Homo-oligomer: A and B are copies of this chain.
């Protein structure tokens, strides 16, 4: 085992932070260290937190972090932010809120900026979780932007998925709920001191009837309901570990990371070869001049790129 991997396994923050940076920058050798760590990981409870902008995910994550620290757990946080151009206000605010834990040596907070594209982002999330896990964290909170399928996909790669909603977000909730009703283990109606909570709770309970999930109310700002929620999360872990659930979810996470890399690898190969290979260039010229149509061109390109299957 390499020296860097050994230091990360001992929980050394600087070694871990450096590897995360190297992975982001695709420094040669970084993936090899990650592979060493992967064998040592698989113990942490990974909790995904997703939901629309403005529902209070960060404040809730901060409260859960606090609750876990009070129980002596070592905690990692992966926070996925949409990059802010005009003003970074809200986003910075979230991070600052969590910074009260930043000097705690048993807490590691990693922010990942989404930069308008999610291709490499879910990969970074998987990698960061592996590093935190191998450091010996007990609990890893993965907080995602949660708008649309991207958030759903990332948050879905967890042992326990929290879906956070809040009253008054209206259209936004409409827009994501199609995917969101399928993925949650615990549904949290946050901002529980606001009007509109009860109708939202009722709608959720109705929509989720018969599904194996919990629906709870919190107010992350005041901390109300966070204790019971934290208990539910721990109970979900215990229930998973009592049966085959823990193994299944862990396998699902490994599979999600594998598929993400495989698809990214295919796309990379694809775009490189579309640029370089003569027969594929010809195809693209034909397409540009309308000598062929997108469907025909795509089927031809597939034949040039993909090996024939074998049993």
* Residues of chain A whose beta carbon lies under 8 Å from any beta carbon of chain B: 31, 34-35, 38-39, 42, 52-54, 82-87, 90-91, 114-118, 126, 145, 147-150, 152, 170-172, 174-179, 181-182, 203, 206-207, 251, 254-255, 257-263, 265-267, 269-270, 272-273, 276-279, 284, 287-288, 290, 293-299, 301-302, 304-307, 309-311
Do A82 and B174 form a contact, CB below 8 Å, given A295-B31, A295-B34?
yes
- 10 nearest interchain CB pairs? A53-B171, A261-B298, A257-B294, A116-B179, A148-B148, A38-B293, A116-B178, A258-B294, A83-B178, A82-B175
> Is A207's CB under 8 angstroms from B262's CB?
no
Cα distance A251–B174 when bound, in Å? 35
B-chain residues with CB within 8 Å of residue A258 when the two chains form the complex: 284, 287, 294, 297-298, 301
Instruction: Find out whether the CB atom of B261 lies under 8 angstroms from the CB atom of A270.
Output: no
Alpha-carbon distance between A284 and B255 when the two chains are bound, in angstroms? 8
Could you tell me if A262 and B301 are in contact, using CB atoms closer than 8 angstroms?
yes
**A164, B289: Cα distance in complex, Å:** 32
- Determine whether the beta carbon of A147 is less than 8 Å from that of B175: yes
Contacts of A298 in B (CB 8 A): 258-259, 261-262, 265
> Which residues of chain B have C-beta atoms less than 8 A from A299's C-beta?
261, 265
A295 to B254, CA, bound (A): 10
* Cβ-neighbour of A255 out of B114, B116, B257, B287 (below 8 A): B287
User: What's the Cα separation between A299 and B251 when bound, in Å?
Assistant: 18
Q: Would A293 and B175 be within 8 Å (CB), given that A117-B149, A266-B306 are in contact?
A: no
By the criterion CB–CB under 8 Å, are B290 and A42 in contact? yes
